[in-house]
Amino acid sequence: MTAAHTAASNVNINLEALFGPHVSSGTLIASASDANFSSVVGPRWSSWQPPQYFGAIKPANEADLQAIIKIAKAHNVSFHATTSGHGTNMQYGKIKNALNINLGNFKSVSIDTANNRLTIGGATSFGDVFGPLWAAGKEVQTGNSVCVGMVGATIGGGIGSMQGLHGLMVDALESVRMVTASGEVVTASETENPDLFWAVRGAGANFGIITSATYRVFDQTANGSAILAEFVYPAAANRSVWELLQSYDNNLPRPLALFPEVGYNRTTNEPMVLYVAIYFGTLEEAQPHFDKARALGPVSTTIVNTTAPGVYTMLSQGVCDNGNYQNEYTVGLQHTDVATMEDVFADMVAFYEANPEYNGKVIYQRYSNEVALQTPVAKTAYPWRDIKTYLLFENIYTNPALDDAVTSFSEKIRDKIQATSGYPNRRVYLNYDHGDEGPAAWWGADHLRKLRALKAKWDPDNLFGKGAPMN
C-alpha cells in the first residue's frame, strides 16, 4: 500500500473498533469529527503549518502505547506522536490525515538524591521538574521555557542557560525507555543497546517513542542563586551591543548566558535592542558583566536577584501561549561578526516599518561551550558542540498573507548571517530548525551515514521522525 493511499484511507477508519478492544479503559480515542476531539488530540504551540489529523488517541500507559504502535503498523495507519507540541518546522505541515498519539499521560518526576539521578516521564515539561529539583537542592541543564517538553528538547541536543555549567542536555541523559517500531519496549543506555542510545542523543524522534528518561543531576550552583539582568537600548546603540557580545567570543564565563535581541516597540514605533544576561551565582560575581552593559547607556535597566526556577519563569513570559502564528529560522555561529549584525538590525527595522502586522524578533543565544566540548563529537548523534552562538529568528504575525514576504525576508537574513558565521556549511540546532535545511545540516555528513544505518535497523518502515526525515 502506498503512503498516499494509506493517508487517504485513514479517514474512513473506525478508531474505536480498531484500537478500543486492545487498550485499557483509561485510553481516550476520538475522530476529528467527534465533539471531544480537542481534549484528546495533543496541544499545538504554533498554528503555522500544523499537522492534519483524522483522529487522536491518548494512551493511558506504556502497554497501551505498545498496542497502538503494533496495530497502527499492522493496518498501515500513519501516526505522529506529540507531547507539548512545540515543534514548528515546515515538515509538520506535510503530515496529512495521520493519527495523533498524545503522550500527555506520560508525566512523572522522581529524584534519587543519593545517586544524583532524575527520572521523568516522556511528556514531562521543564516546568514540572524545576520545583522538585529545587526542593531537593539539585539542578540539571535544561532549556529556557517552562512549557517545553524535557525529553523532546533533550533528544534534539538540548541547549540552555546552564549549558556553560553542565554541558548539553544529551550529556546529562543516562538512559531512556522507549517503544520501538516493532511495538517492543527497550532500554537504551551506554550498556544496553548502546548504538540506539548514541542515535537517541541527537536524533531520538526518528527511532521510537520515549516513555521515560533518566538524567544525571548536580548539586545547586551557588546554593541556587541566580541573577537576571535586562538592558534596553535605542537603535543607535545596536553596534555597541554587538561589540559587547563579540568581546565574549573567546572568554565567556561558564555561569554566564547572554541573549541580545532585536525587537520593535509597536506602541512607540521604535526599534530596540534588548540585552538579557543571566548569571548563576551571586550579584557580586555578576556585577562586572552587568557594568559593561550599563556603560553602553541603556534607556532602562532591570536586575533581579532570584533563583534558577525564577529565571526560567521570567524567560517564559509570553513564550508559552499556544495558538500563535509563528515559525523559526536558525543558524549556528562560531564567532560574532559585528558588521553583519549591524546590517541585520537595519534590515529588521526596514521590515518592521514596511509590515505593521509583523512582530518577529532576532535573538542571539550565547552560551559557553567549554563543558560541551569535553565530550567527543563522536560520542552522541548531536554533532555541533563547537557552536558558540545560536541564532533564533522568531517570526510572529497573525496574517497568513504575509507568509511569502516573511519567508523571502527570513531566508535573506539567514543567508546573510551564515555567510559570516565562521562555518563553510550551515550548522543547525535541530530544535530550532525551519525544516528546509536538510539532514546534513541537522546531523553532519559523517553522523548521517551512521544514523541512516541505524534507522534501517530500528525503524525500517520509517514510522517515526516525520519532523526531521533522514532521507
In this prediction, residue 5 carries a pLDDT of 37
Q: What is the per-residue pLDDT for 6?
A: 46
Model confidence, pTM: 0.95
Percent of the chain clearing pLDDT 70 (strictly above):
98
All domains of the chain in start order, with CATH: 3-102 (3.30.465.10), 109-220+444-458 (3.30.465.10), 222-443 (3.40.462.20)
Closest-CA residue to 383 (of 331, 441, 444, 330):
444
Quick one: how far is CA 88 from the chain centroid? 9
pLDDT in tens, 345-369: 999 999 999 999 999 999 999 999 9
Mean pLDDT, the chain, whole residue set = 96
Alpha carbons 137 and 403: distance in angstroms, whole number: 46
Q: Give the integer Cα–Cα distance in Å for 127 and 141.
A: 13
Q: What is the pLDDT of residue 12?
A: 82
Q: How far apart are CA 321 and CA 142, in angstroms?
A: 20
How far apart are alpha carbons 428 and 437 in whole angstroms?
A: 8
Nearest one of 367, 357, 331, 326 to 90, comparing CA atoms: 326
Residues 269-322 pLDDT 10s: 999 999 999 999 999 999 999 999 999 999 999 999 999 999 999 999 888 888
What is the rounded CA–CA span in Å between residue 426 and residue 405? Answer: 23
User: For residue range 118-164, what is the model confidence (pLDDT) as tens digits?
Assistant: 999 999 999 999 999 999 999 999 999 999 999 999 999 999 999 99
Nearest 5°: the CA angle 232, 238, 242 is 105
Query: What are the tens digits of pLDDT across the range 170-187?
Result: 999 999 999 999 999 999
Mean local confidence (pLDDT), 197-224: 97
Pick the closest to residue 142 from 325, 347, 315 (CA basis): 315
Beta-carbon contacts of 201 under 8 Å, excluding residues fewer than 6 positions away, are 154, 155, 170, 173, 379, 380, 381, 382
Calculate mean pLDDT across residues 433-437. 97
Residues in the chain: 471
**Residue 35: CB atoms within 10 Å:** 7
- Position 3 scores a pLDDT of 40
Over its C-alpha atoms, the chain yields an Rg (Å, rounded) of: 22
Q: For 185-194, how does the pLDDT look when each residue is reduced to its tens digit (9 = 90+)?
A: 999 999 999 9
CA 36 to CA 269: how far, in whole Å?
A: 43
Q: How confident is the model at residue 326 (pLDDT cuts 50, 70, 90)?
A: very high
pLDDT of residue 106: 98
C-alpha distances (whole Å) from 25 to each of 19, 29, 309, 341 are: 11, 10, 37, 56
Strand ranges for 67-107 from DSSP E: 79-82, 98-102
pLDDT of residue 321: 84
